[in-house]
Amino acid sequence: MPEAVTHVGSGKVRELYALDDDRLLLVASDRISTFDVILPTEIPDKGRVLTALSGFWFARTRDLVPNHLLALRDDGRSTECRRLEMLPIECVVRGYLAGSGWKDYVQTGEVCGHRLPEGLVESQQLPLPIFTPATKAETGHDQNIDRAAAIELVGEERFDEVEAVALALYAFVSDYARDRGIILADTKLEFGLDERGGLVLGDEAFTPDSSRFWPADDYSPGATPPSYDKQFVRDYCESLGWNKTAPGPELPEAVVTGTRARYVEAFERLTGIAFGDYVASPSVVIA
């Protein structure tokens, strides 16, 4: 008998279903977005790679903080997870100055209330990683907020706890990736609370959609490093002179193939696991 599942939410490239009162199913599609627009062409296996990476990191960080992972389904793109009470902030950690962090620094010399040294250049490594929370926007962009604004949303004790845990997770994963030739420039984490009020890591974690991964070989401060996964897509879109509003362009076969290869390469470099082994048996990443 097929289980009855209720669709409870959509992200840009993911779907969320309720399995029962306590469990959700997070399904990662092969859709890809660039410049905030979802493209009409899918990248085969992208959802599997992202699901595999999240599972891999959940298994390796569970002694730092419990997480919502219950099981990976055999399709390789679906995660069964514990239903949590999600905290109303995005928990971003930045080790390098990119994206909105760089923009805020140029305008104010600060990011989320962290006063930074003068004279930093785009993509430069920070003296120490910083916790830079943001509000969760239903539509449009998340807004960076300082410690006081985040404490208004989650309380001071919980703020101090998520900051410490998020920084510890970033330190673990960025060291792991660096040893494999990949820079984790920044990452966005989402936490929730279990029925006893305990802090639990949820959502996806340390995937290319929630993080900036840069190939360490190509890194040079002052430039905009190529994105590990989406650079072919961005370069192709730029070459068209597309105005970056919906609908996005269809991607040619060579861009699709090259981008799929980059996702698979990121997975294999980070995990040391052959992607074919994951497809054959998704639990290999959590074994």
Measured distance CA(96)–CA(130) in Å, rounded: 9
Distance separating alpha carbons of residues 271 and 274, to the nearest angstrom: 8
Residue 89 binds to ligand PZK (criterion: CB under 6 A): no
Best CA proximity match to 81, nearest among 134, 188, 159, 9: 9
SS3 content of the chain, % helix, strand, coil (to 5): 35, 25, 40
Q: Near ligand PZK by CB under 6 A, which window of 14-22, 168-176, 262-270, 272-280?
A: 14-22
CB of 119 to ligand PZK, least distance (A): 38
Minimum distance, C-beta of residue 63 to ligand PZK, in the bound complex (Å): 20
Q: Which of 140, 160, 136, 139 is nearest to 148 (CA)?
A: 160
Residue that is written with structure tokens 């097929």 in the block: 2
What track of x and - describes contact with ligand PZK for positions 146 through 185 (by CB under 6 A)? ----------------------------------------
- By CB under 6 A, tell whether 53 contacts ligand PZK: no
Cis peptide bond N-terminal to 247, omega within 30: yes
What pairing do the DSSP bridges indicate for beta strands 85-86 and 182-193?
antiparallel
Does 221 bind ligand PZK (CB under 6 A)? Our answer is no
Chosen residue from 83, 94, 114, 158 binding ligand PZK by CB under 6 A: 83
Q: Does 198 bind ligand PZK (CB under 6 A)?
A: no
Q: Indicate the SS3 state at residue 85.
A: strand
Coil/strand/helix, residue 81? strand
Phi, psi of 268 (to 5 degrees): -70, -40
Q: Which is nearer to ligand PZK, 84 or 251 (CB)?
A: 84
Asked if 55 interacts with ligand PZK (CB under 6 A), we say: no
Segment interacting with ligand PZK (CB under 6 A) among 13-21, 44-52, 116-124, 149-157: 13-21
Closer Cβ to ligand PZK, 58 or 105, answer by number: 58
CB of 14 to ligand PZK, least distance (A): 3
Size of the site for ligand PZK (CB under 6 A): 17
Which of 26, 52, 87, 201 binds ligand PZK (CB under 6 A)? It is 26
Sign of CA dihedral 161, 152, 184, 27: positive
Q: Does 16 bind ligand PZK (CB under 6 A)?
A: yes
For ligand PZK, the closer CB: 48 or 114: 48
d(CA 40, CA 170): 33
Of 58 and 232, CB closest to ligand PZK: 58
Contact 78, 23 (CB under 8 A): no
| Sites of contact with ligand PZK (CB under 6 A) | 9-11, 14-16, 24, 26, 68, 81-84, 86, 192, 202-203
